[in-house]
Every structure is written in structure tokens, then in C-alpha cells.
Amino acid sequence: MGKLDLSVFSQNTWEVTLPNKQVINVSKPTQRKLIDLGELTKKLERTKDTAKQLETLTNTTLFILNNNVENVAFTREQLEEMLNLDMYYAIYFGYMEFVKEITRNPN
């Protein structure tokens, strides 16, 4: 039997260039992170209060951006100073599309 190299499945990343021109490569979510992301998405969709929606969106963006191969750890304060609302949504919807693509084609 030939060898099985599972590392090829973890090589796909989503490249994000931040407003300060820093580039990070966001990893594919693990099964646990995918479940957590689903819970955050449900919470975001259910929440009607604008302040709570923004808090959940910020938490979701932190969750996404902190899952990077460079091991850069962002704080809430950093994101609040660096990103505007359009950027939060671009990150959220962009990552969700990335997840859909890799789910359809895991290689």
C-alpha cells in the first residue's frame, strides 16, 4: 500500500491583505472550528439588536483571522481600530465562500 500524506489537505489557505498591507493566510477550519463557526453564524443571523450583531460580527472576524498559518493573534481592539463595517462583512462572507469552495473540492 502506498503512503498517505494528509498534509496536502491542510495546504489550502485564504490570503487576506489587511488595510495596513499585512498579508495573512487563513487556514481551513478544522471540524471543531467549523462547528464553532456555524454556531457564530446562527447567532449572527438570530440577533436583532444592532450592538449585539456588531459584537458577534467582531467575534466571528476574530475567530476567522486568528486561524492563520502565521500565528498572528489579533485583539478586538486591533480590529476595531483597523477595520470598518464593510471590511468585517467582506471578511465574513469571503471566508464563508472559501469554506464552501473547499467543502465542495477538498483537494
Q: 20 in a domain, yes or no?
A: no
Q: Which residues, 6 or more positions from 69, have their beta carbon under 8 angstroms from its beta carbon?
A: 13, 24, 25, 26, 27
Would 87 be classed as within a structural domain? yes
Q: Give the domain extent around 70.
A: 28-104
Gap between the Cα atoms of 56 and 69, Å rounded: 23
Q: How many domains does the chain have?
A: 1
18 domain-assigned: no
Instruction: Answer yes or no: pTM beyond 0.95.
Output: no
Residue (of 103, 104, 21, 29) closest to 65 by Cα position: 29
User: Which H/E stretch holds residue 65?
Assistant: helix 50-65
The partner residues of 85 in beta bridges, in order of sequence, read none
Residue 82 within any structural domain of the chain:
yes
Residue 68 lies in a domain: yes
Per the CB < 8 A criterion, the answer to whether 6 and 19 are in contact is no
Confidence at residue 94, expressed as pLDDT on a 0 to 100 scale: 97
pLDDT for the residue numbered 107: 58
Each residue's pLDDT, cut to its tens digit, for the chain (107 residues) gives 789 887 776 678 999 999 999 999 999 998 899 899 899 889 888 988 999 999 999 999 999 999 999 999 999 999 999 999 999 999 999 999 999 988 787 55
**Domain assignment present for 17:** no
Residue 98 domain flag: yes
Residue 56 counted as domain residue: yes
